[in-house]
Amino acid sequence: MIPIPFSALKTALSLFFPKKLLTKDNTCDFGNEIFTHFRSQTQHYQSTTSLTSASLPGLLFHRRTPLPLRRMRIAVNTRFLLQQQLEGFGYFTREVLSTLTRQHPEHEFHFFFDRPFPEEFLFSGNVKGHVLAPPARHPLLWKYWFDVSVSRRLKQLKADVFLSPDGQCSLTTSVPQCLVVHDLGFLHYPEGYQKSHLAYYKRYTPKFIRKAAIVATVSAFSKNDIVRQYKTPPEKIAVVYNGVKEIFAPTGFEEKMAVKESYTGGAEYFLYAGAIQPRKNIVNLLKAFSIFKRRMHSSLKLVLAGRLAWKNEDFLALLKTYKYKDDVVLTGYLAESELAQLMAAAYAFVYPSHFEGFGVPVLEAMKCGVPVLTSKGSAMEEISEGTALFFDPANVDDIAYQLMFVYKNEGERSALVQKGKEVAAPYTWQRTADRLWACLLQAAGG
């Protein structure tokens, strides 16, 4: 273990901050403050431990020693913070921003909504909410909202940086932007998107990525996909990952029994959690479950926890004539506390999505001590580190085989539970927030 001199630390920091901020010219106080801070941290670490290359990442993202930055005005696209309708983008926005706003009271945060919002989404006293018209739920309105409404308000506020967590940004503003692109699902599974949405994403996503000062994404899988599809320089993309809330945790025997009694009349069940739409591949899951029921003669049920989203004609048509429809439970949208209880009581969690940039429910199940069966060929293989049973999502027989395998092999099921807890442990929203904060600093300094 070789100690790192301050000169080497300075070189490492230059990868994260622009050169103009790294000079020691007295006209660049921001740069001076950064190096004063990290010099003091270096001295502290070297006086208490050995500062080595292995400890450098922890120093760069050390959340208990925030940088003494100038006061910044940070604007954020928060249009997916929807009361009792939080999914994907909304969960990410809430978890990251609730952490960052409280962790950095020295900065102003301005949240941009596209409709009236509840006060609960203004997470701390340094947050101000703005409603920017029009309500943007159509590609034409998305374009106007970002390029006119957002751009105008950013100029009025004299914002230092704009964070957009839903893969879109303004093409007309001069304010530096930190863009979060979760995945490029529209390129890999276009049939799961409305035609107007698909055309918009295909046309504008590469422009958004070029416009942004820095792009954050949630897995190495997605980063590599963005680089490959759009020839984006790898150094422009940071992997921040997703997190899992502490509410997702194992529960006791009595709690599990109460949940089973409430949802399935006491029976064990396979669980799927997420919106019900074509990309999630629920039709093939139903077909595989039918094979499982026919061959295993089991009382296990299938619980589908999530709202009916879009393009559900095939799913609803199959369900009408489904032989085992009495063994299928549709819960609709569930509050997070209810979902956590339902997850922890499941026999196994099944996530058959055709394509994901991350797959948060996979880790939620692992943290709950529930074995996971999921698709291969997507980000779930990366984040689960192989600690799952994988199947080809297009192959119904393959999905059915894994359902039967986990049902018949209790020893393998127990091993998946233990390994899954270990794999999921590092995935916290604090880590995500720390990494995204570093991206915001880089964008603001650019």
Which sequence spans correspond to the domains of the chain?
A: 1-9+18-53, 73-243+429-445, 253-424
Strand partners, 215: 179, 237
Query: What does the buried/exposed string (b/e) look like for 201-212 if buried means 16 or more CB atoms within 10 Å of the residue's CB?
Result: beebbbebbebb
pLDDT value, residue 433: 98
In this structure, what token pair is assigned to residue 60? 């760069």
pLDDT score for 109: 98
* 3-state secondary structure at position 52: coil
- Residue 179 DSSP SS3: strand
* CATH class in words for 73-243+429-445: alpha beta
- Give the strand pairing for 161-164 and 127-131: unpaired
Question: Which amino acid is it at 244?
Answer: V
Residue 402 tokens, joined: 């894994």
Q: 348: Cβ–Cβ under 8 A, 6 or more apart, which residues?
A: 270, 271, 370, 371, 372, 373, 403, 406, 413
Give the pLDDT of residue 151: 98
User: What are the Cα distances from residue 196, in Å, to 171, 201, 230?
Assistant: 19, 9, 21
Which of 291, 315, 267, 245 is CA-nearest to residue 403? 291
CA 265 to chain centre: 33
Cis omega (within 30 of 0) for bond into 165: no
In DSSP notation, 343-386 reads HHT-SEEEE--S--SS-HHHHHHHHTT--EEEESSSHHHHHHTT
pLDDT of residue 446: 58
Strand order across the 237-239 sheet: 127-131, 108-113, 73-77, 161-164, 177-180, 214-217, 237-239
What pLDDT sits at residue 27? 35
β partners of residue 131: 113
Matching CATH topology for 73-243+429-445 and 253-424? yes
How confident is the prediction along the chain (446 residues), in pLDDT tens digits per residue? 334 344 433 433 443 444 333 333 333 333 443 433 434 333 333 333 333 333 333 334 333 334 435 799 999 999 999 877 767 788 999 999 999 999 999 999 999 999 999 999 999 999 999 999 999 889 999 999 999 999 999 999 999 999 999 999 999 999 999 999 999 999 999 988 889 999 999 999 999 999 999 999 999 999 999 999 999 999 999 999 999 999 999 999 999 999 999 999 999 999 999 988 888 999 999 999 999 999 999 999 999 999 887 777 888 888 889 999 999 999 998 988 999 999 999 999 999 999 999 999 999 999 999 999 999 988 999 999 999 999 999 999 999 999 999 999 999 999 999 999 999 999 999 999 999 999 999 999 85
Q: What is the CB-side half-sphere exposure of residue 234 using CA atoms within 13 A? A: 6
Q: Is 253-424 a domain of CATH 3.40.50.2000? A: yes
User: Closest by alpha carbon to 16, among 433, 438, 437, 436?
Assistant: 438
Contacts of 104 (CB under 8 A, 6+ apart): 66, 126, 437
Distance (Å, rounded) from C-alpha 200 to C-alpha 27?
44
Q: Counting every residue, how long is the chain?
A: 446
